[in-house]
Structure 1
Amino acid sequence: MGTLLIISILVFAAIGIPIAFSLGISSLITIITEGYPLIVVPQKLFGGMDSFPLLAIPFFMLSGDLMNGGGLNKRIIRVANAFLGNLPGSLPIITIVASAFFAAISGSAVATVAAIGGITIPAMIKQGYPDHYAAGVASSSSIVGPIIPPSITLIVYGSSLQLSISSLFLASAIPGIFMTLVFILVAVYQAKKNNYPKEGKISFAEKIDAVKDGFWALMMPVIILGGIFSGKFTPTEAAVVSVVYAFIIGMFVYKGFTLRDLPKLLSESAVSIATIMLILATSKILAWVITVINLPTMVADAILGLTSNAFLIFMLINIILLLVGCLMEANAAVIILIPILVPIITKLGMSPITFGVVMTVNLCLGLLTPPVGICLLLGSQMAKSKFEKAVISMLPYFAVGVITLLLATYVPAFTLWLPGLM
């Protein structure tokens, strides 16, 4: 029955049925076939969304939309340009840094590539960068969104296992910063190798003006992350603070939108939020079905039956997660795979906190890889580039992601040092 369930999900997704409906229909078929009571469906459907930590997701997504509409993103990019514009490959570097800043608010890779890539991709192409390279850089930069805290994927993971969201955020901070810094080194190397243009020297007065203009935008991640890590408020409360802050700064300080613009901003945000929440709801039904048909035990026995070597098992789990990330939405994958994989990794001595970061990095890399690769697909569309060429441009950054993944998997201090310190 477990095999039939997995195959049905993959078939429904492959023929174009939205992932939320693919999960729900497959679960319903299994429930009916096995004779389980149908009352489980509405119970789990609403139970999948009835969680205080999950409230952070719609608020962080809304704050990202308000940032974009209020002009905060443009000012973050301007500040990055003021200090990094004289480096080789300045625009790609600015894209990477701005994506990291935006990620520290929205927690979403797709939102990051849309918000930051929408500004920097046309700028890179206009300055003479190949369209496929612009798509590759912007798309790759966006995947730090679910890694750098606050992370929507980690909120889903932590709420499912009743783990400390703040500890998960701390655990993901070093991997997220590491990826960002090495992305910059890759961009500089590529710029020198291919003689890509740079913005030129920025005067001291222009730097000061950029910082003054962008001060309130730069303070947003400081307030949000500082509040979370200092214990002043929970991640869910931080999400609400981020919405209020983005609204006040966007409307009254930067005057990026007016009250007339709010209905459009809110409606666009509501569609994105509803999509994510529906996926979480239906994936909760599937997670229950997976548990009652005893699929976790069968998968665990199969994996542990192959080898008892922890190094090889962790490698096999990473390969499975990479493949799942290529095919399935990250938050749904987290809820489905937690009951299957967490018992295995804890038995082998890996911390659930570490595994949360490992799972997130894996699924983020899936956002860049075919056949779905939603972030790369979106970046290619914005750059009007061929998807195949964008894939090639993305590969060096993908390699950095794999290195980050291996460090998170096999070097416990990479994820656990900061939570232990705090």
Structure 2
Amino acid sequence: MAALLIILILVFAAVGIPIAYSLGISSLITIFYKGLPLIVIPQKLFNGMDSFPLLAIPFFMLSGDLMNGGGINKRIIRVANAFLGDLPGSLPIITIVASAFFAAISGSAVATVAAIGGITIPAMIKQGYPNNYAAGVASSASIVGPIIPPSIALIVYGSSLQLSISELFLAAAVPGILISMSFILVAIYQAKKYNFPKEGKSDWKERIEAVKEGFWALMMPVIILGGIFSGLFTPTEASVVAVVYAFIIGLFVYKGFKIKDLPRLLSEAAISTATIMLILATSKILAWVITVINLPTIVASAILGLTDSPVLILLLINVILLIVGCLMECNAAIIILIPVLVPIVTKLGMSPVTFGVIMTVNLCLGLLTPPVGACLLLGSNIAESRFEKAVVSMLPFFAIGIVVLLLTTYVPSLTMWLPGILK
């Protein structure tokens, strides 16, 4: 039965059926085949979305759209350019830094590609960077979106296990920053190797002007993350604060949009949210089916039967997550794999908080890899580059991401150090 379920999911995904429908149809077929009660379907659909922490998702999605429409992202890029423009390969570095700042507000990788890559990819191409390289670096930079807090993926993970979302955010901060810093080193190395151009050095007058203009944009992540980590408000409340702040700054300070633009911005956020919530709802049905057919025990027995070495077991789990990340949407994979993998890692003595970060980093790397590769696909479209060439340009960043993933897996202090201090 477990094999049939897995085959159904893979076949439906391979023929191009949207992931939410693939999960729902596979679950429905399994329920009919096993003779399970159909009343479970509406119950799990509702339970999959009925969670207070999940309320943060629509608000963070809306705040990202308001930032983009309000010109906040442009101010962040200008500040980064003022301070980093004289470095080798300055535009890729600016893209990475700006993506990290934007990620600290939106929590979405795809939104980060659209908002930051939509500006910096054409700029890189205009300055002489290859189209495929521009797509590769902007897409790679975007994966910190679901890692650096606030993170939609960690909200989904935490709400499923009733964990502290704030603690998960703290745990993900160091790996997220480490990934961004590592990407910058890769960009500098490539710039020196291929003699990529610089933007040009800015004097302190230009830097001060850029900071003045971008002050309110830079304060947004400070207010949101500062409020969460200080305990002033919960992550869900922080998402509302983000919307209010982005609305006021975008409309009245930067005047990037007008009242008449709000229906369009609300509609875009609603569509993005509905997509995620439908995936979460159908994933909840599949997670229940997986538990009923005893797949967690089967997988655990198979993994533990191969080796009793914790090092090898964790390595095998990482390989499984990387493969799943290549095939499935991040939030759906989290819901489905929690009952399968969390019991295994807790048996090894790993904190569920640490594993939440490992799972998120793994699945975010999947946003760059074929056949799905949502971020790289969007970046390629913006750059008008062939997808397979963008894959080649992405590989050095992907490789350094794997290194950070292994460090996160085998050095628990990377994730538990900051939560321990602030506790």
- Quick one: distance in 2 between partners of 1:6 and 1:109? 27
The letter for the 2-side match of 1:370 is: P
1:116-265 counterparts in 2 under 5 A? Answer: 116-265=116-265
| Residue aligning to 1:353 | 353
The letter for the 2-side match of 1:404 is: V
* Deviation at residue 349 of structure 1 after TM alignment: 1.0
The letter for the 1-side match of 2:153 is: T
| Residue aligning to 1:304 | 304
* Deviation at residue 398 of structure 1 after TM alignment: 0.5
1:382-393 counterparts in 2 under 5 A? Answer: 382-393=382-393
The letter for the 2-side match of 1:124 is: M
The letter for the 2-side match of 1:406 is: L
- Quick one: distance in 2 between partners of 1:147 and 1:204? 33
The letter for the 2-side match of 1:385 is: S
- Quick one: distance in 2 between partners of 1:378 and 1:123? 16
Give CA deviations for 1:133-152 in whole Å, capped at 9, x if unaligned: 10000000000101100110
- Quick one: distance in 1 between partners of 2:307 and 2:93? 43
- Quick one: distance in 1 between partners of 2:403 and 2:421? 24
Give CA deviations for 1:244-282 in whole Å, capped at 9, x if unaligned: 000000001111111101111111111111000000000
**Runs of at least 5 residues in structure 1 that lack an aligned partner in the other structure:** none
Aligned length: 422
- Quick one: distance in 2 between partners of 1:75 and 1:271? 26
Deviates more, 1:91-100 or 1:261-270: 261-270
- Quick one: distance in 1 between partners of 2:111 and 2:369? 17
Give CA deviations for 1:53-106 in whole Å, capped at 9, x if unaligned: 011111111100000000000000000000001111010000000000000011
| Residue aligning to 1:366 | 366
The letter for the 1-side match of 2:223 is: I
* 3-state SS, counterpart of residue 261 of structure 1: helix
Give CA deviations for 1:313-357 in whole Å, capped at 9, x if unaligned: 000000000000000000000000000000000001111111001
The letter for the 1-side match of 2:144 is: V
| Residue aligning to 2:89 | 89
1:374-385 counterparts in 2 under 5 A? Answer: 374-385=374-385
- Quick one: distance in 2 between partners of 1:140 and 1:204? 30
* 3-state SS, counterpart of residue 259 of structure 2: coil
* 3-state SS, counterpart of residue 367 of structure 1: helix
- Quick one: distance in 2 between partners of 1:270 and 1:414? 35
* Deviation at residue 161 of structure 1 after TM alignment: 0.4
TM-score normalised over the length of structure 1: 0.99
| Residue aligning to 1:318 | 318
| Residue aligning to 1:23 | 23
* Deviation at residue 170 of structure 1 after TM alignment: 0.5
The letter for the 1-side match of 2:238 is: A
- Quick one: distance in 1 between partners of 2:360 and 2:119? 26
- Quick one: distance in 1 between partners of 2:418 and 2:203? 37
Give CA deviations for 1:338-389 in whole Å, capped at 9, x if unaligned: 0000000000111111100100000000000111111111111110111111
Give CA deviations for 1:177-196 in whole Å, capped at 9, x if unaligned: 01111111111111111110
Task: Tell me whether 1:8 sits opposite 2:1 in the alignment.
Answer: no
| Residue aligning to 1:405 | 405
The letter for the 1-side match of 2:46 is: F
- Quick one: distance in 1 between partners of 2:73 and 2:105? 11
- Quick one: distance in 2 between partners of 1:400 and 1:208? 34
* Deviation at residue 205 of structure 1 after TM alignment: 1.2
- Quick one: distance in 2 between partners of 1:57 and 1:269? 10
Q: Which runs of 4+ in 1 moved over 2 A?
A: none
* Deviation at residue 214 of structure 1 after TM alignment: 0.4
* Deviation at residue 400 of structure 1 after TM alignment: 1.2
- Quick one: distance in 1 between partners of 2:247 and 2:6? 43
Give CA deviations for 1:145-177 in whole Å, capped at 9, x if unaligned: 011001100000000000111110000000000
* Deviation at residue 33 of structure 1 after TM alignment: 1.0
Task: Tell me whether 1:332 sits opposite 2:332 in the alignment.
Answer: yes
* 3-state SS, counterpart of residue 37 of structure 1: coil
* 3-state SS, counterpart of residue 116 of structure 1: helix
* Deviation at residue 293 of structure 1 after TM alignment: 1.1
- Quick one: distance in 2 between partners of 1:330 and 1:2? 21
* Deviation at residue 399 of structure 1 after TM alignment: 1.0
The letter for the 1-side match of 2:313 is: I
Give CA deviations for 1:13-67 in whole Å, capped at 9, x if unaligned: 1101100000000011111111111111001001100000011111111100000
